[in-house]
Amino acid sequence: MMNIRLSGRVTQCLLVVLAGLLSGCSVYSQYGFQSVSIAPDDLSFAVAHREGRESLLAIAKFEENVPTVVLKSRDGTHYERPIFSNDGRKLYFIARKKRDRGDLFVIGTDGSGLTQLTVGQEGAQNIQDIALSREGNKIYYINSRFYGHYSPIASSQPHDLDFYSISTDGTGLERLSFASSYGLTGLSISPSGEDIYSRSTILRLEKPRQYRPFTFKSPDRLLFTSQYPLSKISGSQLVLSCSKTEERVPGRSSRERLNLGEYSAVYGSGLFLIDIDDEVVVDEVVYLRSYLDSPALSHDRQRILFIRNDSVWGGDGDKTLWSVNVNGSQLRQIQLQFPQ
């Protein structure tokens, strides 16, 4: 039998493909918590949650387990990625009626003033992720203009992706990049407001608008897996959710690992602190045999909320909400009792 050793370049390409395949386990298709964000005052947080055909947005105070439902849907519309306005009085979010159509909405945290911000405009057909500008008057988002069964990364996954922006009142739509990319996952804005970060790309907003790779240094090769892998950048640090390769461990079952070849495998996902100035991994906060997504770093830089999904590694299908301190301590599940 022929023994084939893959080159580093080929292995890197395979990792990119695997990243796309794993990202295909999207927040759209599963029950439970979809994403989370923390309020500007660090006293409460917002979640998107699904149960059957029902989808809801809710706000909960820390250390309380009964949230306030802001918006609830029973018509098959799915809510994703709520983020707070700078004053904490509004939520911007994605409403998805179909897999190939997602639009941007805003609602008051008291449930009032529901407004659709993107209504059939060019470039606003399938929004994937959103982030608020430093000043709070503009929303940046990733958009997929076309969707079908012909993506080279994975079948039926969003592609032809670029960055856009729109004012929070729904005016001033602007296309920010023209790369027609196959791999923009996650969105965060630098504290200066000059750069947009995706999972592996940085876009300078000043003209000429240019991409450059976000190639942070790490002792392990990291494989991005989540749809929303980035937190809001705080200071010079960013929380990133992704998998990492490890040397294969004898005796681990196929349900406990994603095989990447003869010598390495992925056993789970972690939360990592990245220094955006030096582009280096500062610390590993937590590493679990799970699929982790939507990390939200508190503004005091003490706590991270995130979504844990064990189904990728052989567990149940629900997505659960977890909390961990930035130093890796006090890992715990947050259980909310939604009103009936």
pLDDT, one tens digit per residue, over 237-272 is 999 999 988 888 888 777 777 777 778 888 889 999
**Has residue 3 got a pLDDT over 50?**
no
Domain ranges, residue 249: 1-30+216-340
Q: Is the pLDDT of residue 4 over 50?
A: no
**pLDDT for the residue 154:** 53
The predicted structure's pLDDT at residue 315:
58
Residue 185 is assigned to a structural domain of this protein: no
| 226 pLDDT more than 50 | yes
pLDDT confidence of residue 26: 40
**For residue 227, what are the contacts with CB-CB under 8 A and spacing of at least 6?**
23, 26, 27, 128, 129, 185, 186, 293, 294
Q: Averaged over 124-143, what is the pLDDT?
A: 92
321 falls in which pLDDT band (50, 70, 90)?
very high
Number of domains present in the structure of the chain: 1
Q: How does pLDDT run across 19-62, given as a tens digit for each residue?
A: 444 444 443 346 899 999 999 999 999 999 998 788 999 999 99
Which whole-number Å values give the CA distances from 111 to 35, 79, 151, 245, in the listed order?
Answer: 19, 14, 38, 44
Q: For the chain, give the mean pLDDT.
A: 85
pLDDT category of residue 8 using cuts at 50, 70 and 90: very low
298, part of any domain? yes
> Could you tell me which of 73, 57, 150, 151 has the C-alpha nearest to residue 107?
57
Model's pTM, two decimal places?
0.89
Q: Is residue 314 part of a domain?
A: yes
> 162 in a domain, yes or no?
no
**Does 25 reside within a domain?**
yes
pLDDT at 15: 46
Which has more confidence, 146 or 170?
170
User: How far apart, in whole angstroms, are the C-alpha atoms of residue 71 and residue 270?
Assistant: 31
Name which of 177, 168, 157, 67 is nearest 113 in CA terms: 168
> Does the structure show a pLDDT above 90 at 289?
no
CA distance 287 to 107: 35
Tell me, yes or no, whether 176 lies in a domain.
no
Of residues 217 and 1, more confidence is placed in: 217
Q: E-assigned strands of 39-137?
A: 44-51, 54-61, 68-73, 78-84, 90-98, 101-108, 115-116, 127-132
Q: Which residue has the higher pLDDT, 278 or 311?
A: 278
Domain membership flag for residue 197 = no
- Least confident piece of the model among 10-19, 78-87, 125-134, 291-300: 10-19
Per-residue tokens: 80? 């994703």
Mean per-residue pLDDT, 206-211: 83
Residue 67 lies inside a defined structural domain of this protein: no
Q: Please, which pLDDT band fits residue 1 given cuts at 50, 70 and 90?
A: very low
